[in-house]
Amino acid sequence: MTGRFNAFSGEIGYTESKPSEAKIEAMIDTGSIDSNHAERDKHFRDEDFLNVAAYPEARFISTSYIEEGKDKTTLIGDLTLKGITRPIRIEVEHVDAGTDPWDGLRIH
């Protein structure tokens, strides 16, 4: 099974010359879960799983960004889900970065 959250927002602070100072914050609308199966998604939203009524948002806030090679880094941060915050590590592969047509930095 694969799925996604359709509603989320976030901010990324990244300077190409100082990638170790990257800051990432992401907010996810837990009610927007989409596994392409309406009944399963309903179960995911219920109180025995995500409990969307009580916890409508999940949040990730980075605490460090560690370069481990030319194109590989580890993002460390705190994930809050259902009111419980735990530290997590996310492996990140840096593919590319550049200016988008609206003069913002786009990271791939």
- pLDDT reported for residue 3: 95
How many domains, the chain?
A: 1
Locate tokens 């300077």: which residue? 15
Q: Would you state the structure tokens that stand for residue 70, as one six-digit string? A: 């030319």
- pLDDT reported for residue 14: 79
Stronger pLDDT, 67 or 30, i.e. the higher one: 30
pTM given for the model: 0.80
- pLDDT reported for residue 79: 98
Q: Tell me how far apart the alpha carbons of residues 51 and 60 are, in angstroms, rounded to a whole number.
A: 18
Instruction: Show the domain range for 18.
Output: 4-107
pLDDT-derived band at 47 (thresholds 50, 70, 90) equals very high
Q: Tell me how far apart the alpha carbons of residues 69 and 96 are, in angstroms, rounded to a whole number.
A: 15
Compute the chain's Rg from CA coordinates: 16
Q: Tell me how far apart the alpha carbons of residues 51 and 31 are, in angstroms, rounded to a whole number.
A: 9
- pLDDT reported for residue 100: 65
Q: Tell me how far apart the alpha carbons of residues 89 and 92 are, in angstroms, rounded to a whole number.
A: 9
pLDDT in tens, 59-106: 999 999 888 877 788 999 999 999 999 999 999 877 666 666 666 655
The CATH number for 68's domain is: 2.40.128.110
- pLDDT reported for residue 104: 62
